[in-house]
Structure 1
Amino acid sequence: MTRFWLGGYGAAMEGSADGIGLLAGDEQTPTKLSYRGAVTQTPSPSWLAQHPTLNVVYAALEGDAAVQAFRRTGESTLQPVGDPVEAGDSVCHVTVAPSGGYLVASCYGDGRVVRIGIASDGSLVPDAANKAAELRAALLGEAVETSTPAGVAAAASDPYAGALTATGAERVSHAHASAFLPDGRIATTDLGFDLVRFWRATPSGLVLDHEVALPQGTGPRHMVVHPSGHLHVVTEYSCEVFTLAAGPDGIWRVVSSVLSSPIAEVGVDFPAELARTRDGQFLYTALRGSNTVATLRVRGAGETLEPVALADSGVDWPRHHLVHEGKLLVAGQRSDTITLLDLDERTGAVLGIRHEAQVPTPTHFLPVR
């Protein structure tokens, strides 16, 4: 049976999701997906990630500045594992290390990139200093004076110091996503400072290796690692996809950039997610605003992209999408719907809407393993 855990926004974030939801097909019609209800009572679990070997799912609790672990206890049930662990303001993305030993959380509100340890049973390991402060408060009645979690990585600095946003506001750091690279390093995006940052994982935390500054005002948001080893980055503000590659010296550099679609409108369209087909032949990004899906063909050895098609997503404000069994699943944050789109295997283009379902404020899909 086709099933997905669903992230969503709750009432505190102007949404209607009650927690992590379940989207499932049936045995006779796997592509006829329907919402089966919330399986947790969790405030705004906007992004989900699966442990690589355990039946444990991690949720970014965006409105609560924390990350929570959940253990799968049945075919369609999840139970909390321990308490939520502090990450940072508006934590919006989590990625689990291939080793399963830790996760990286990206925080839009304060720009934090946070490493949070994972125990052998999949539970999150809270910062020891803050846990001790909470224990003293409970036992001795001391005031709780917590510090910045030990796993918080080096803060970003604006490469365009003194510059303002397109609306004339001060630029601030907005960490947005992370990706684990084939060489063991980690890439993160900072949408506010136009940075792609590269890190090395050490026993004491993440150590900044180097940074790549994209053009001012582009707004790098999400990434996908191509089978060729290239890193593709979609930009929220300039509607582009940048391709980065590591040189012989290990330094990553931009090797190409292209508009997601020749008719994308900067200031009207705001790309959200970037996804690829399993073979890496095509990439897809959804444009919030025009509510369309752009198809890009990967050329050469992965270093060049070519926009080839643009189609209606069938939802309002396509927040997230993924390629699943030759189709594209799209989450409409503002329409409270999801759509399943047919794809042309040869051209990669969206052919049309196969199925639509009502879902409360969906923000992320995670296949049930």
Structure 2
Amino acid sequence: MRYLLGGYGADLGGSAEGIGVLTAGAADSPLASGPLGVADAVAGAASPSWVARHPHLDVVYATLEGQGAVQAFRRTGETTFAPLGRPVAVGAAPCHVLALPQALIVSCWGDGAVVRVALDAAGRPGAAVAWAAVDAGAEPEDTDRTRYDDALRAVRAAVGEDAAHLLPEPTEVDAVPDAGNATAQARVSRAHQAALVGPGLLATTDLGLDLVRFWRTDGEAQRVRLPVGTGPRHMVWHPSGHLYVVTEHSGEVFTLGQTPTGSWRIVGGVSLGGMPGDAAAELALSRDGEVLYAGLRGSDTIATLRVLGSGDEVRTTALSEAGVSWPRHHIIARDTVLVAGQRSDEIASLALDARTGAPGRVRHRTIAPSPTAILPFPV
């Protein structure tokens, strides 16, 4: 299997010289369990920290995090690429790009901007338009769990014990309401990821303000507030219709679900079981949709979580060594998890246990310059 690698370059204290290529076993194999190898950069770029592929075209996009821009590259050969247009300025420290057929959605960690970049028929980026900032305009509907629970407790108290049994219990979530040092820091907007969660509906995370924001083509539709200081970073949409959100500061996975009216709310949460000071990174879903994997930088581990019921419940089942230092990103490839060790300058492949789904021994490893993202790129 073949993959493209994002990485930090010299401008951000790394050693990557552009977008790299990783092979895991044979390039044309659907499996990733074979030996690993990394080739020289196939496209020169300054700190392409995230890479994404156009849904239909042979074009890839990279966030140039240190330059505050996104750049498109057109595939010109089996492993050769050429710039497609010029870099497009989007905001401070863009760290994620979602490629849609007609636009890019860019998340900027530095200033919290969520930016839509139009694409022409060839996939070339054009005009960039920043969507409304968090502090702009009236605040949309808020489905904060704490507000819901406080109201429910008040109603239960008002009706008395004799009738309280007729009302639902307040939501019980295994969550950390105060995420340590994160709550003491200045709260500033820090957009981190965008994900497609249904026809015409996008979700974005704001790590600094503990928000998951939902967008339609005409603008922001709703915000869901997570507990203060949790730091929602990345998301995975599940076929059941639930949205799983991993929080960088508190090391949890929250489950969001839709009400019958279509609004989103928190329906559950669980700790990853990491160590104090850990910073959660990526969240990935197994091919069958039954297992989630969350990376923890610091303890350098990967938490395994089982999806239960109708997708509304998630349970942590294992915590395994990641095999690298500072596991910034990982992806699941059938019976293998590939992990990018940003600080150890390597990629490692871990075998997944067929019974438990948990990562086990390191199968292979290879040197890779400051890797920050892994993108499947089949032959």
The TM-score range, normalised by the shorter chain, is 0.7 to 0.9
Residues of 2 paired with 1:279 and 1:114: CA distance? 32
- 1:187 aligns to 2:203 (yes or no): yes
Contact 1:21–1:35 under 8 Å retained in 2: yes
Q: What is the CA deviation profile of residues 200-233 of structure 1, one whole-angstrom value per residue up to 9, with x for unaligned ones?
A: 014xxxx010100000000000000011110000
- Give 1:213's aligned residue: 225
**Which consecutive aligned stretches of 4+ in structure 1 deviate over 6 angstroms post-superposition?**
none
Q: What is the CA deviation profile of residues 125-161 of structure 1, one whole-angstrom value per residue up to 9, with x for unaligned ones?
A: 134xxxxxxxxxxxxxxxxxxxxxxx1011113999x
RMSD of Structure 2 on Structure 1 (CA): 1.9
- Give 1:90's aligned residue: 93
- Give 1:15's aligned residue: 14
Q: TM-score, normalised by structure 1?
A: 0.87
> What is the 5 A alignment of 1:190-269?
190-202=206-218, 207-261=219-273, 264-266=274-276, 268-269=277-278
Residues of 2 paired with 1:211 and 1:6: CA distance? 32
Residues of 2 paired with 1:20 and 1:201: CA distance? 31
Q: What is the CA deviation profile of residues 31-85 of structure 1, one whole-angstrom value per residue up to 9, with x for unaligned ones?
A: 2111111011100000011101100001011001001000111111111000011
Of the two structures, which has the highest relative contact order with CA contacts closer than 8 Å and spacing of 6 or more?
2
Paired residue type of 1:155: A
Contact 1:237–1:270 under 8 Å retained in 2: yes
Quote the offset at 1:167 in angstroms: 6.7
Residues of 1 paired with 2:18 and 2:72: CA distance? 13
Paired residue type of 2:131: A
Q: 2:194 aligns with which of 168, 175, 178?
A: 178
Q: 1:238 to 1:27 in 2, by over 3 A?
A: closer
Contact 1:227–1:279 under 8 Å retained in 2: no
In the alignment of these two chains, the number of paired residues is: 334
> What is the 5 A alignment of 1:95-134?
95-97=98-100, 100-127=101-128
Residues of 1 paired with 2:374 and 2:225: CA distance? 30
Contact 1:260–1:294 under 8 Å retained in 2: yes
Identity percentage of aligned residues: 51
Residues of 1 paired with 2:307 and 2:255: CA distance? 10
Q: TM-score, normalised by structure 2?
A: 0.85
Q: Specify every segment of 5 or more residues in structure 2 that has no aligned partner in the other structure, as ranges.
A: 145-177
Residues of 1 paired with 2:321 and 2:230: CA distance? 24
- Give 2:167's aligned residue: none
Q: Specify every segment of 5 or more residues in structure 1 that has no aligned partner in the other structure, as ranges.
A: 128-150
Q: What is the CA deviation profile of residues 291-329 of structure 1, one whole-angstrom value per residue up to 9, with x for unaligned ones?
A: 001100000011100111111111000000000122100
